[in-house]
Amino acid sequence: GAVAETFRVIQGAVTEEYVRSTQGVFQFELSGDGGGTWYIDLKTKGGSAGFGKPPVTADVVMSMSSADFVKMFT
């Protein structure tokens, strides 16, 4: 779906430089199609993004519809 594809693109764009400069973990609680808990980890070495809870405690938790999430990142 659109949410999974957006996270696939985000994961491909994560670099050590982004991790070094951001040092944050973002958790998204998405409702609607493709919803659920997703995360972007820009704190842990190498960074990561995907479905489920982040590997470390989130610094920011955002709740929104999956449609709004996709709009925000495209």
Class of residue 31 by CB neighbours under 10 A (exposed 0-12, middle 13-18, buried 19+):
middle
pLDDT tens string 11-23: 999 999 999 999 9
Q: What pLDDT does residue 65 have?
A: 98
Q: Helices H, strands E: what count in the chain?
A: 3, 4
φ, ψ of residue 13 to 5 degrees: the values are: -95, -10
For the chain, which domains are there? 1-70 (3.30.1050.10)
Say which residues have a Cβ less than 8 Å from residue 35's Cβ, sequence separation at least 6: 3, 65, 66
pLDDT tens string 1-52: 999 999 999 999 999 999 999 999 999 999 999 999 999 999 999 999 999 9
State the pTM of this model. 0.93
